[in-house]
Structure 1
Amino acid sequence: MAKTRIVLNRAGVRALLRSQAMMEVCEKHARDAQARLGEGYVVTTRRGKNRVNASIAAHSSAARRENAQSNTILKALK
């Protein structure tokens, strides 16, 4: 068999990873996890140097305590 070589279009991949569509996908996953968490958690999205990012943070003191005791954010992402 002949070896196949794949060369990625680096500029195209970078544009895809930083696109608005990718931000919407990341935000949807974060919002789904936030819905499983309940009150006191916030979702933020940002466009970084290489790709878009979405994060979930415990905003209220009760949510911070709950996350510290049982790692609820990580469990909601599974």
Structure 2
Amino acid sequence: MSKMQFKLNSSGVSSLLKSAEMQNVLSKQASAIKNRCGEGYEQDIFVGKNRANAMVWADSYQARKENMENNTLLKAVR
């Protein structure tokens, strides 16, 4: 039995991680998390140096307080 070897195309992987398709996937996931959290949470997508990133954060005072008391964002990610 011979060993299989492959060489990863790093520029291809980099372009995939920054692609519009990846941003759509991240946007759907961030929206789902935001919806599970409730009112007062916001989301954003941005392309960084290495990959596309999504974030959800507590935007209002009530949401920040709720998140600090109940770990709402952490529970919504699970």
2:43 equivalent in structure 1: 43
For 1:53, the aligned partner's letter is N
TM-score norm. by structure 1 comes to: 0.96
CA distance in 1, matches of 2:45, 2:69: 25
Residues 53-68 of structure 1 aligned to structure 2 (within 5 Å): 53-68=53-68
Unaligned runs of 5+ in 2: none
Residues 3-42 of structure 1 aligned to structure 2 (within 5 Å): 3-42=3-42
CA distance in 2, matches of 1:63, 1:15: 35
For 1:29, the aligned partner's letter is Q
Runs of 4+ residues deviating >3 angstroms: none
CA distance in 1, matches of 2:6, 2:72: 40
| TM-align CA RMSD | 0.6
TM-score norm. by structure 2 comes to: 0.96
